[in-house]
Structure 1
Amino acid sequence: MKLVYGTTGQVHFSDAHEYYYVLGLLARAKRTSIVWEHNEDQGAWASEGRIHVQADIGLFSTNFSITAGTGSMLGRVNCNDYVSSLQTQHNFALGTTQSIPLIMATVPQKYIDDFIRGLAA
């Protein structure tokens, strides 16, 4: 598990407890959406992994550099390697609906309480 993601550290955690707490925050239904924006269709180099924050944006400001949102999206986190790790290491799906049991199955037992605190925040 990495604690810093992105070329400028735009996703960062102080320790594993914080990492798994934030994983719980992200897993909570309707708070965020996991997306790959296909920017290559508009002339950019490649797709971009994003977390669209749709509620409770203040909960994410400690660990994420958040850029401006549009419409119902309050802000977004731009970090391909973190979004990729959410999908490949923690069973996150694209969109707003996540399977808590599938994600929780990836959390080491010693961090389950941190994950549950994040879900409940």
Structure 2
Amino acid sequence: SYNAVIGACASAGKWKEALDVLDECYNEPGVEPNIYIYTNAIRACAKAGKTQRALSLLDIVKEKGLPVDSYCYTAVIDACSKGRQWKKALEIFDEMEEKGIVPTQVTYSVTISALGNGLQWERA
């Protein structure tokens, strides 16, 4: 499945390949990328430090009206952390909580990492 391939690309740090496969989904009749496919694509971008790409994918997910879950938000926060964008990471974390989505331990961990990367120890 597309999700498995994009997930493998994410694990291997192959963000360009992950996005290429995502593009294939758009062109495949009857295939509509779901939240799991997007989350894996965001994970691939996060691993490669491609924060803006990850944020763009989150925007697409929202535009499509897909239900954003804690795993997707965590992947985006991780991308912000790796891109040293602690303010954006906190913004995403706050958005997540405002929507009533319960953060996981990993969510807290990557958010604290984002604050640490931004030298915001007091906030962590």
Relative to the length of structure 1, the TM-score reads 0.26
Structure ranking higher in helix proportion: 2
Relative to the length of structure 2, the TM-score reads 0.25
Structure ranking higher in strand proportion: 1
